């Protein structure tokens, strides 16, 4: 079996694949392949181990009829047109669970940095603007006893909620497609409708899978329904928020601040006005960027590929219906 890996991944996954005698083609450079280059190599292979944001749409599947499976180096699978994969009986695997803690750590980090304007105050030192003590300057807000609202309380959202509960005794509310009984039992989380989530959250953190129906769900209308002291956190997908509307909300005191590990579009340009705001903290999509998480992701992706090689069901398949 021939497998194309479009960007290098940790050796923990590569070694598993090589031990099985699987033929690997790994993009040897850090350069992003053009779509034509990407598709051409995929046409010559049986399996794609995809790293990064490639659009695996109907056109991709039409041009790559020999593909037998796709292993994603990610939890999210919104870049894959699953209906197109299903119609061709192509299993798609992801890397769930192994980055729950790492990604929730970043959400937790951003929340605290926004609350205390840490990025902005750090820049003041760099710019030589650390002046004498002023009791009215550099004021942030405390998080103790505040309300955390989770949009999409799955595994990552649960980890974020647990951290906030233990560290700051925060009250947990959430909005999901269905109830999370485990969160309600362990964290005393309360299920609420979307409007209540907006109006009652002191911190609103997104941890949902992205779908087109949620495209720019967080916009001028939704920000206007949030508290003036609210902190908006997005570590899921940048397409959940409208970036211009977020800028307007932050500069017009509609919400307190925002912490982003994902942007819309991505990557963010260095002259983006959000980067100059004292109440906005932005990171370059590093939610899973720990040695532990990335190694575990590589192993999960390799296990999905090995299952295809051994004519078995992918252990982390997002479209299990292709097996029936």
Residues with a catalytic annotation lie at 237, 266, 285
Cβ atoms 145, 171 nearer than 8 A: yes
In angstroms, the Cα distances linking 75 to 78, 80, 209, 220, 320 are: 9, 12, 9, 29, 15
Which whole-number Å values give the CA distances from 239 to 65, 133, 207, 264, in the listed order? 30, 41, 13, 6
Inter-axis angle of helices 155-168 and 100-115, nearest 10? 50
Nearest to 320 by CA among 76, 98, 69: 69
Q: Closest Cα to residue 193, out of 201, 205, 185, 181?
A: 201
CA distances from 189 to 72, 148, 153, 175 (A): 32, 10, 10, 10
- 176-182 long-range Cβ contacts below 8 angstroms, 24+ apart: 176/152, 180/153, 180/154, 182/158
Q: Are 307 and 18 in contact (CB under 8 A)?
A: no
* φ and ψ at residue 89, rounded to 5 degrees: 60, 40
Alpha-carbon gap, residue 87 to 260, rounded angstroms: 36
The dihedral through the CA atoms of 293, 77, 197, 228 has a sign that is positive
| Dihedral in degrees, nearest 10, Cα atoms 13, 60, 210, 180 | -60
């Amino acid at each position: 079996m021939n497998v194309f890996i479009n960007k290098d991944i940790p050796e923990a996954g590569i070694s598993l694949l090589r031990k099985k005698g699987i033929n690997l083609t790994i993009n040897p450079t850090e350069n992003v392949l053009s779509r034509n280059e990407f598709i051409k190599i995929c046409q010559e292979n049986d399996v794609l181990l995809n790293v990064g944001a490639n659009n695996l749409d109907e056109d991709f599947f039409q041009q790559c009829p020999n593909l037998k499976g796709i292993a994603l180096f990610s939890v999210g699978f919104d870049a894959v047109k699953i209906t197109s994969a299903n119609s061709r009986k192509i299993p798609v695997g992801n890397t769930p669970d192994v980055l729950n803690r790492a990604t929730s750590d970043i959400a937790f980090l951003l929340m605290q940095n926004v609350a205390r304007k840490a990025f902005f105050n750090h820049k003041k030192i760099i710019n030589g603007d650390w002046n004498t003590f002023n009791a009215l300057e550099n004021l942030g807000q405390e998080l103790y006893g505040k309300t955390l609202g989770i949009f999409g309380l799955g595994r990552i959202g649960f980890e974020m909620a647990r951290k906030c509960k233990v560290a700051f005794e925060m009250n947990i509310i959430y909005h999901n497609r269905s109830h999370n009984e485990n969160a309600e039992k362990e964290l005393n989380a309360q299920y609420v409708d979307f409007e209540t989530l907006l109006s009652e959250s002191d911190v609103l953190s997104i941890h949902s899978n992205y779908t087109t129906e949620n495209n720019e769900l967080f916009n001028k209308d939704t920000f206007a329904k949030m508290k003036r002291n609210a902190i908006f956190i997005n570590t899921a997908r940048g397409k959940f928020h409208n970036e211009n509307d977020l800028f307007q909300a932050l500069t017009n005191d509609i919400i307190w601040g925002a912490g982003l590990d994902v942007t819309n579009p991505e990557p963010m340009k260095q002259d983006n006005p959000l980067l100059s705001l004292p109440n906005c903290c932005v990171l370059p999509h590093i939610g899973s960027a720990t040695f532990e998480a990335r190694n575990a992701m590589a192993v999960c992706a390799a296990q999905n590929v090995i299952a295809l090689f051994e004519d078995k069901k992918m252990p982390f398949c997002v479209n299990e219906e292709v097996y029936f």
